[in-house]
């Protein structure tokens, strides 16, 4: 009898495997992407060219002083494990430096895989947070499809309809978000509740010591917002901009769709409660 399973056929790309392993990557984040001089980057760099701070062994020559040297953008980037997957997978551990003819293909594969790995990060959480078996199966089937693509041959990866897949993933994530958030009580503050909505402009807003459980902050602008001491259990933070947001003493341990890049961009402390599979940024301890 034929059955449809939501479990991957091979070893699953679970969240621990979706963390960067720079030692097994050929500095793809420092080469494939381009950036313009701004508050996040001290210079212009065209896509497909090595950063001027890249060493021959693919390490960063200013890694310990990126922020003071004007490269804040580098400190918040996360490839969700796509770098080592592309470097060691379809290209067999041979670098673009040793085989220059592979450079364009490797960089294109990395750009695609990075998007897919981020989708896997969210889907893994959706599958564990949902109470609905159908939603869990749907998330699992999407994970299967994406994992097959990132573990498969290069032509199939590059031919994948990523925008279409992204739309399906987004729909699943939103369904699970609505379900999870519904299990939390409202804040009870009508004025505040009306401001907590997807894409809201909450830059610099004082949201400290609030019960923000179940809030829909998807895509919200929380730049420099004060969230100190607030409870964000069940709050949807998908795509929320947390640059310089104050998170000291905040409880993010059960927040929904939080990522490492968001934490890296925010300000926190040893008192900030985080999900078990996310790391406390080193600069928080220094602060």
For the chain, give the percent of residues with pLDDT over 90.
87
Distance CA 123, CA 8 (A): 13
Residue among 238, 263, 277, 274 at smallest CA distance from 18: 277
Check residue 31 and give its pLDDT: 96
- pLDDT of res. 15: 84
pLDDT digits (tens, 9 = 90+) for 153-175: 999 999 999 999 999 999 999 99
Task: pLDDT band for 189, please (50, 70, 90 cuts).
Answer: low
Residues in contact with 267: Cβ distance below 8 Å, sequence separation at least 6, in sequence order: 244, 245, 246, 247, 248, 284, 287
Q: What is the pLDDT of residues 239-271, one digit of tens each?
A: 999 999 999 999 999 999 999 999 999 999 999
Query: What's the pLDDT band for 72 if we cut at 50, 70, 90?
Result: very high
| 239: Cα separation from own chain's centroid | 9
Give the pLDDT band (50/70/90) at residue 283. confident
**Cβ burial, residue 262 (10 Å; 0-12/13-18/19+):** buried
At residue 2 the predicted structure's pLDDT band, cuts being 50, 70 and 90, is very low
* CA pair distance 75, 261, nearest whole angstrom: 8
Residue 35 near residue 45, CB atoms below 8 Å = yes
pLDDT in tens, 195-225: 899 999 999 999 999 999 999 999 999 999 9
Going along the chain from its start, the domains and CATH numbers come out as 15-180 (no CATH), 184-287 (2.160.20.80)
Please report the pLDDT score of residue 14 as a whole number: 80
Identify the pLDDT of residue 7. 46
Strand partners, 256: 236
Mean residue pLDDT of the chain comes to 91
DSSP string for 211-223: B-TT-B-TT-B-T
Residue 8 predicted with pLDDT over 60 = no
Q: CB neighbours (10 Å) of residue 100? A: 9
Nearest to 23 by CA among 73, 52, 63: 63
pTM above 0.95, yes or no: no
Which residues make Cβ contacts (< 8 Å) with residue 85, sequence separation at least 6? 113, 117, 150
Q: What is the pLDDT of residue 186?
A: 54
Distances (CA, A) of 202 to 35, 48, 135: 27, 36, 31
HSE-CB for 24 with a 13 A CA cutoff? 15
């Amino acid at each position: 009898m034929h059955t449809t399973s939501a479990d991957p056929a091979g070893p699953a790309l679970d969240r621990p495997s979706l963390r960067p392993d720079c030692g097994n990557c050929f500095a793809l984040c420092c080469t494939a992407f381009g950036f313009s001089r701004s508050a996040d980057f001290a210079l212009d760099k065209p896509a497909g060219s090595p950063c001027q701070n890249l060493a021959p062994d693919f390490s960063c020559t200013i890694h310990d002083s990126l922020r003071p040297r004007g490269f804040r953008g580098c400190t918040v980037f996360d490839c969700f494990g796509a770098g080592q997957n592309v470097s060691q997978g379809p290209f067999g551990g041979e670098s673009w430096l040793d085989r220059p003819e592979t450079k364009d293909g490797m960089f294109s594969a990395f750009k695609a895989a990075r998007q897919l790995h981020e989708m896997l990060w969210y889907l893994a959480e959706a599958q564990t947070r949902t109470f609905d078996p159908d939603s869990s199966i749907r998330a699992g089937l999407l994970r299967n499809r994406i994992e097959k693509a990132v573990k498969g041959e290069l032509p199939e990866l590059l031919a994948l309809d990523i925008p279409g897949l992204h739309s399906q993933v987004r729909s699943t994530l939103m369904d699970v978000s609505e379900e999870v958030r519904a299990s939390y009580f409202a804040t009870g503050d009508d004025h505040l509740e009306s401001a907590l909505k997807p894409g809201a402009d909450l830059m610099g807003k004082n949201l400290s010591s609030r019960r923000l459980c179940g809030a829909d902050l998807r895509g919200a602008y929380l730049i420099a917002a004060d969230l100190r001491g607030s409870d964000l259990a069940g709050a949807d933070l998908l795509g929320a901009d947390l640059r310089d947001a104050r998170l000291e003493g905040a409880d993010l341990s059960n927040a929904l769709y939080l990522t490492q890049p968001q934490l890296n961009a925010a300000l926190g402390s040893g008192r900030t409660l985080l999900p078990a599979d996310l790391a406390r940024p080193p600069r928080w301890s220094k602060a």
